[in-house]
Structure 1
Amino acid sequence: MGIKLFHRTQRDLASYINQVIDQYWNNDLEETQMIDMIQNLYNNNESKFVKNGEYTSIINQQCGKRRLEVISKVLDLNRVK
């Protein structure tokens, strides 16, 4: 999967996040690759990802609860290191 680090819209970003996590769940992507991709997406698109300390409404709606749980754990891992 080619890594696209910068996304034009929140919907593009959400779609890409969904692809990354779905590939991980389908065992098409290693856990470390998924973590790196999510962290890179967050670092390069923070304003589209989070506003006022919470996920943007588009990210919430498009990604869903289960994917957001994965994203939250990945980003928490990043802060602990």
Structure 2
Amino acid sequence: MFYRTQRDLAMALNQLVDAYWNEEIIEKQLINGVKNLYENNENKLMKNNQFTTVLQQQCGKRRLAVVERILELE
């Protein structure tokens, strides 16, 4: 799961978190998906220990709060 742009990555994160909120996937799938996205696209996800501006704009605070919490568990 490598993404070419930050916007593509943001859309994938949105779909993943939304699927969890809509109870389409279980928590373990969400955690594995977020970790996989982070490992393969770290430079597009974070800069200076913060989410990139594009991700902040595309994903919003609530979704990024979920992602941040998952990444802190590592």
Q: TM-score, normalised by structure 2?
A: 0.98
What is the rounded CA distance, in whole Å, between the counterparts of 1:52 and 1:72 in structure 2? 14
Task: Look up the match of 1:35.
Answer: 31
Q: TM-score, normalised by structure 1?
A: 0.90
- Cα RMSD of the aligned pairs, angstroms, is 0.4
Task: Look up the match of 2:54.
Answer: 58
Structure 1 spans left out of the alignment, 5+ residues: none
Task: Look up the match of 1:23.
Answer: 19
Task: Look up the match of 1:12.
Answer: 8
- Please state whether the residue corresponding to 1:73 is helix, strand or coil: helix
Structure 2 spans left out of the alignment, 5+ residues: none
Task: Look up the match of 2:66.
Answer: 70
The residue type paired with residue 28 of structure 2 is T
Task: Find runs of 4+ consecutive structure 1 residues off by over 6 angstroms.
Answer: none
What is the rounded CA distance, in whole Å, between the counterparts of 1:13 and 1:30 in structure 2? 21
Q: Percent identity?
A: 51
